[in-house]
Structure 1
């Protein structure tokens, strides 16, 4: 059942992290489908707005830099006032700062994200269920959606993504990534991806490739904008990645993916609706611990995964 209230202006706050922001896209698509004539103001981090800012119906994008200088809460108040009058305000964040800002937004209806289910369900469903629940809708969660065109590589290409912003526990080992890349380099060109803080891991892999005489690779760590990152991942033939934002980019384009999971709940954050996803996890008793670093100091959830495990899936 659709709402009777006329919705002409919508404010949406998206999550800070790239992966979480991408997992809101089925819910946002459903909002656009439900209110096709509404104009949207989008607020988020620089990274998340770079990824989602070109959705149709978005007329204004605001980057949240309230942490940068001065009093954050005064900045959040000013930000709320800058948004102006809206019919509907929805935040996909649960933080106190988000609730504080939403309090001051001039909206006929406003809703802060909350988890409705205690049991483990996919994060995409959590976001979509939240929108359905607060607006009394019954929309199914469709595919992840990003509006960028896939880059066309000259040869079959393998992408590897050794980083994971959340913490070291989510990271598989550079030498294992390198072993896979070396084996695959006979049939595929190699592209190493990573953010500005992941250039060291990428360099470690590059050293391994060079010492094995591999030349058909590119190291793009720290060198791509978010739109470029999305386009380059979208064009890949195969992608090997930790649980990370780029993993969800690959899911949006249904790229053949090997996703390596250690300390996180793959039932909640694996690739949504990607029939070409392969999950590798050792299902240890101590996992998923959801910690940034291994609390038991052994990191077996990642150490026990080998390049052989990955190659077995690919061949």
Structure 2
């Protein structure tokens, strides 16, 4: 019953949005913007993709205060944002946890109303887009910048249709351009502290500076549909240790500790280090930056690897590399995927729940497929020197 009423409510708002879309549109007067809110409660990769947006807003509105809403698991990535001290306030929002339910969301909306923001940038997409775009409207913030898709987001004052074949970073910045704002920088920039870099470097030296591979076997957001599998990673790591004489570090969140332990116990080699759940996100970022090669699925650590310009092998299943990987990152990322008829099936549709049981797009990717990609990516000296970063051709293993 509750789900039916919720769907009816959103259907009603969807209809209102279509009817009044033209009436709510308004131009932005820069002189009136004094308080800005950015609402991005997605994963680490989603938050990284608004870093250039934040920099552009800082440049366009130098006298305005900027606050941000983020998801709790992603908050630490803000510590590597070069302008991390500019935020007036940082709010944590958990759509499926602390803020689950209408009353909790209403309390959060009221707290935003009281702060009298002049503008909100809300690049909501995919799962949760219905709720977030609706909350932006109910917050009564005069200027609302966001995407529209499947009828949602139409009540934003500046909108752009969310496209399925354009990189998300490009679309995020296009929202600003649609407001008449200037965008000077389209590259994601991060700044990792010297302490975190030293922490990562010490880990490398523990194994006498052998070539260093970093692997993230997990994934968030319906991870079962994006993860390649524990047994595959065990076989892959055994081959990497044998063929490249490498040190391999497993990384991940505390929620992925059991997976890391299974892989570590299954391999049983001293040159495999399990750091799953043992680092902060800035430390994890430093470990990736220190590495010669990153391997993983469509997840936050992959986006970090691409941002810090580490050659990467990305294993894709139901999501789209064309949508996820920005053009400036494609020269250092080798995508491994199987082009079957139903893949990709998740293109950030609103309120989607994966239903595939066989997940062929992942299960048909063999260890040898991934090894072929690694061999093409990795140009590594294996004579106890720091590994030289490899160059990556724009190629795809199919």
Superimposed CA distance per residue, residues 268-315 of structure 1 (whole angstroms, 9 cap, x where no aligned partner): 0135522211111121122112286562x4332112222222222222
Could you tell me whether the CA contact under 8 Å between 1:125 and 1:141 is conserved in 2? Answer: no
2:189 aligned with 1:145: yes
Superimposed CA distance per residue, residues 13-63 of structure 1 (whole angstroms, 9 cap, x where no aligned partner): 113222222222222222223234433111111123321255522232121
Could you tell me whether the CA contact under 8 Å between 2:35 and 2:118 is conserved in 1? Answer: yes
2:333 aligned with 1:277: yes
Which one of the candidate residues 139, 144, 159 is aligned to 1:110? 144
How do residues 1-315 of structure 1 correspond to structure 2 at under 5 angstroms? 4-5=30-31, 7-52=33-78, 54-56=81-83, 57-64=86-93, 67-68=97-98, 71-81=103-113, 84-94=115-125, 95-103=129-137, 105=139, 107-114=141-148, 115-133=160-178, 135-139=179-183, 142-149=186-193, 150=197, 151-152=200-201, 153-154=204-205, 155=209, 156-167=211-222, 168-185=224-241, 186-210=244-268, 214-270=269-325, 273-274=328-329, 275-290=331-346, 295=356, 297-315=357-375
- Higher helix fraction (1 or 2): 2
SS of residue paired to 2:106 = helix
Deviation of 1:130 after TM superposition, in Å, equals: 1.5
Could you tell me whether the CA contact under 8 Å between 2:82 and 2:189 is conserved in 1? Answer: no
Distance 1:197 1:293, change over 3 A: farther
Alpha-carbon distance in 1 for matches of 2:279, 2:326? 22
SS of residue paired to 1:16 = coil
Structure 1: where are the runs of 5+ without partners? none
Provide TM-score, normalisation by structure 1. Answer: 0.86
Alpha-carbon distance in 2 for matches of 1:77, 1:300? 41
Superimposed CA distance per residue, residues 128-169 of structure 1 (whole angstroms, 9 cap, x where no aligned partner): 112221x21352661223332443232231111111112212
SS of residue paired to 2:312 = strand
Superimposed CA distance per residue, residues 49-106 of structure 1 (whole angstroms, 9 cap, x where no aligned partner): 3212555222321212575278213322333145x23332212225344344434546
Alpha-carbon distance in 2 for matches of 1:136, 1:93? 20
Distance 1:33 1:243, change over 3 A: same
Structure 2: where are the runs of 5+ without partners? 1-27, 149-159, 347-351, 376-398
Alpha-carbon distance in 2 for matches of 1:196, 1:74? 31
Alpha-carbon distance in 1 for matches of 2:261, 2:60? 47
Superimposed CA distance per residue, residues 206-247 of structure 1 (whole angstroms, 9 cap, x where no aligned partner): 12211xxx2012212222222222222222211100111111
Superimposed CA distance per residue, residues 152-189 of structure 1 (whole angstroms, 9 cap, x where no aligned partner): 23223111111111221211122222222223225321
Alpha-carbon distance in 2 for matches of 1:79, 1:228? 33
Superimposed CA distance per residue, residues 246-285 of structure 1 (whole angstroms, 9 cap, x where no aligned partner): 1111111011100001111111013552221111112112
SS of residue paired to 1:273 = helix
Could you tell me whether the CA contact under 8 Å between 1:190 and 1:217 is conserved in 2? Answer: yes
Could you tell me whether the CA contact under 8 Å between 2:52 and 2:187 is conserved in 1? Answer: yes
Aligned residues: 308
Cα RMSD (Å): 2.7
SS of residue paired to 1:175 = helix
Alpha-carbon distance in 1 for matches of 2:306, 2:369? 21
Could you tell me whether the CA contact under 8 Å between 1:13 and 1:42 is conserved in 2? Answer: yes
Alpha-carbon distance in 2 for matches of 1:39, 1:242? 36
**Stretches (4+) displaced over 4 A:** 104-108, 291-294
